[in-house]
Amino acid sequence: MNGAIATQLVKNGFGQKTPEASFKTISVGGFANFRLAELVLLGVGVNWTTQTDEFLAPGSSDNDFTSHLQGFGALQYLLGGQLVIKGVVGYARAFFQPSDPAVATWSNDMYSGRIQLMYLY
């Protein structure tokens, strides 16, 4: 498990806050492995991070906001005591909500999959 909260407050040469460079970030996540059988392992994990900027566009009541979600699932099998076969699927989502209502909200989804082979000798 992991978790963190961070803030960045930037001031200009006159000691005034610079909203375009000031923000708060929150991140949480974790992973776990489970033995389903003697030769079979299942792994799952997720991480989520958000950032809220201090910037506020004229006429808006919402700050710039971004988030990123990433997760995976993996199934691993040991064949013949020497060949590890592992399948992994993943998902990621990026999201941006600008403070300026004239700028569109943006999001992007990504899916992935792979097979890994590892020979133990």
Q: Which residues are CB-contacts of 17 (< 8 A; sequence separation ≥ 6)?
A: 9, 10, 11, 54
Stated pTM of the model = 0.81
As a whole number of angstroms, the distance between CA 109 and CA 29 comes to: 19
- Percentage of the chain modeled with pLDDT above 90: 82
Sole residue written with tokens 């005591």: 81
Q: Band of the pLDDT at 119, cuts 50, 70, 90?
A: very high
pLDDT in tens, 27-69: 999 999 999 999 999 999 999 999 999 888 888 888 999 999 9
Could you tell me how far CA 45 lies from the centroid of its own chain? 10
**pLDDT reported for residue 18:** 86
Q: Band of the pLDDT at 20, cuts 50, 70, 90?
A: confident
